[in-house]
Structure 1
Amino acid sequence: MANKLVIIDTDCGIDDAQAVMMALAAPNLEVLAVTCVFGNASVENVCQNVLRVLSVCERQGIPVFQGSAGPLVGLSSPFSDHFGGDGLGDVIEDKDPQWKEKIQQEHAVDAMIRLASKYENQVSLVALGPLTNLALAVRLDPRFPQKLRELFIMGGNMEGKGNATVCAEFNFAMDPESAYIVLEDFVCPTYLATWEYSGRNALTWEFFEELVNQDSPAARFMKTVTSKCWAYSKEAMKKKRDVHFGPGFVSYDSYAMAACVDGSTVLESVECPVRVELQGSMSRGMLVLDRTESLKKSHAVRVMTKCDVEKFGRLLMDSLKQPRRK
Structure 2
Amino acid sequence: MRKKLILDVDTGTDDAVAIMLAGLHPDLDLVAVTVVNGNVPVENCTDNTLRTLDWIGRSDIPVYQGLSHPIVREDFPTPRATKRDPKVHMAVLPLPAATSAKQDLPAPIFLSQAFAEQAGEITLIAVGPLSNLAATIAIDPRFPENCAELIIMGGAVNKSNITPSAEFNIWADPEAAAQVFRAPFRKITLVPLDATHEALVSKDQCDMLRAHGTPASTASADIIEHRIKGYEANQPTGTPQSAPVHDAVCVAALVDPQIIETQHVNVVIETLGEYTIGRTVVDHERRTTRVPNCHVAFHAKREPFVAMLSQTFAPATPSQVKAS
TM-score normalized with structure 2 length:
0.89
Deviation (angstroms), 1:82: 4.3
Are the equivalent residues in 1 in contact too, given 2:44–2:92 (CA < 8 A)?
yes
Aligned mate of 2:172, from 167, 171, 174: 174
Deviation (angstroms), 1:297: 3.5
Can you list the C-alpha shifts for 1:220-267, whole angstroms capped at 9, x where unaligned? 33344456x4x332xx53464454x5332311111111111211212x
Are the equivalent residues in 1 in contact too, given 2:217–2:310 (CA < 8 A)?
no
1:318 to 2:305 alignment: no
Helix, strand or coil: the match of 1:120? coil
> Residues 1-326 of structure 1: matches in 2 within 5 Å?
2-76=1-75, 77-78=79-80, 80=84, 81-86=86-91, 88=93, 91-92=94-95, 95-96=97-98, 102-159=101-158, 161-225=159-223, 229=226, 231-233=227-229, 237-238=231-232, 240-241=234-235, 243=237, 246-247=239-240, 248-266=242-260, 268-293=261-286, 295-323=288-316
Can you list the C-alpha shifts for 1:153-190, whole angstroms capped at 9, x where unaligned? 1000112x421112100111111111111111143211
Distance 1:203 1:124 in 2: 26
Can you list the C-alpha shifts for 1:197-227, whole angstroms capped at 9, x where unaligned? 1113323321122223421122233344456
Distance 1:250 1:223 in 2: 13
Distance 2:58 2:67 in 1: 24
Distance 2:298 2:205 in 1: 22
Are the equivalent residues in 1 in contact too, given 2:63–2:103 (CA < 8 A)?
yes
Are the equivalent residues in 1 in contact too, given 2:12–2:39 (CA < 8 A)?
yes
RMSD between superposed Cα atoms in Å: 2.2
Are the equivalent residues in 1 in contact too, given 2:13–2:90 (CA < 8 A)?
no
Can you list the C-alpha shifts for 1:62-84, whole angstroms capped at 9, x where unaligned? 11101010111222231623434
Deviation (angstroms), 1:127: 0.3
Distance 2:16 2:152 in 1: 16
Distance 1:273 1:126 in 2: 20
Are the equivalent residues in 2 in contact too, given 1:40–1:82 (CA < 8 A)?
no
Are the equivalent residues in 2 in contact too, given 1:25–1:318 (CA < 8 A)?
no
Are the equivalent residues in 2 in contact too, given 1:208–1:249 (CA < 8 A)?
no
Q: Which runs of 5+ in 1 are unaligned?
A: none
Deviation (angstroms), 1:316: 1.2
Deviation (angstroms), 1:279: 1.1
User: Measured at CA, do residues 67 and 153 of structure 1 come closer, stay the same or move farther in structure 2, by a change above 3 Å?
Assistant: same
User: Measured at CA, do residues 54 and 75 of structure 1 come closer, stay the same or move farther in structure 2, by a change above 3 Å?
Assistant: same
Can you list the C-alpha shifts for 1:6-59, whole angstroms capped at 9, x where unaligned? 000000111111011111122121111100001111111111111111111111
Are the equivalent residues in 2 in contact too, given 1:22–1:318 (CA < 8 A)?
no
Q: Which runs of 5+ in 2 are unaligned?
A: none
Deviation (angstroms), 1:274: 0.6
Distance 1:294 1:162 in 2: 22
User: Measured at CA, do residues 252 and 279 of structure 1 come closer, stay the same or move farther in structure 2, by a change above 3 Å?
Assistant: same
| % same residue | 29
Aligned pairs, number: 312
The amino acid of 1:133's aligned partner reads N
Are the equivalent residues in 1 in contact too, given 2:199–2:305 (CA < 8 A)?
no
Are the equivalent residues in 2 in contact too, given 1:172–1:285 (CA < 8 A)?
yes
